[in-house]
Amino acid sequence: MMQVKLLQGIVILSIAAVVAACASSSETVDSAQNGPQTPPFTQIKTAPDSFKGQTLVLGGQVLAARRMKDGTRIEVLQLPLNDSQQPTLDLMKSQGRFVAIQREFLDPATLPHGTFITITGELTGSITLPLDETDYTYPVIDIKSLHTWVPSQDSNQWRSRPYPYYSPFGHPYWGPYGRAFPYYW
């Protein structure tokens, strides 16, 4: 009987030790995943010089990439990042644009229009460039690391079924309601 109680006590202590270890390691992982604390993009856009020299994590969708003398300039539509540092797919949540500079060689063809990216880098100031019929002030970030993302197939951004649909009879038809079966006429 005494051995059973001793064994139960050891099991309880072991479980408590495992739970405590898991709790402390999850805090470490969470703080490592978050990386540098980035202020809201609206503050960065309003006063980029006040954040000059800070390491930031920004994400969005590539609008254009262009090779320049001093590196590759990437114009990005800013999008909020989720907990995994992935940009949201909802373009309406954008709070503006920014420019990212890759000082080492980066072929602009590797970042086509529409690519989703996350950038970690140092804010170096701002640049004013023409945007349609106005001038726009872009915060500028020097890239330290760049990660590209591919939207998942199960995203709500994709259609549920591609055209043409296939009927249960093996024939394609061209529309969601079967309006034009090949043998309909």
Task: pLDDT band for 151, please (50, 70, 90 cuts).
Answer: confident
Cα–Cα distance, 137 to 21 (Å, whole number): 48
The predicted pLDDT at position 7 comes to 58
Domain ranges of the chain: 41-149
Rounded to whole angstroms, what are the CA distances from 31 to 27, 41, 177? Answer: 6, 21, 51
Q: pLDDT per residue over 57-110, tens digit each?
A: 999 999 999 999 989 999 999 999 998 899 999 999 999 999 999 999 899 999
Residue 13: φ, ψ to 5° = -65, -40
Residue 74, amino acid: I
Please give the structure tokens belonging to residue 170.
């093996």
| 88 within 8 A of 97, measured Cβ to Cβ | no
| 116 within 8 A of 150, measured Cβ to Cβ | yes
Q: pLDDT per residue over 127-141, tens digit each?
A: 999 999 999 999 999
Torsion sign across C-alpha atoms 107, 140, 36, 61:
negative
41-149 is classed in which CATH architecture?
A: Beta Barrel (2.40)
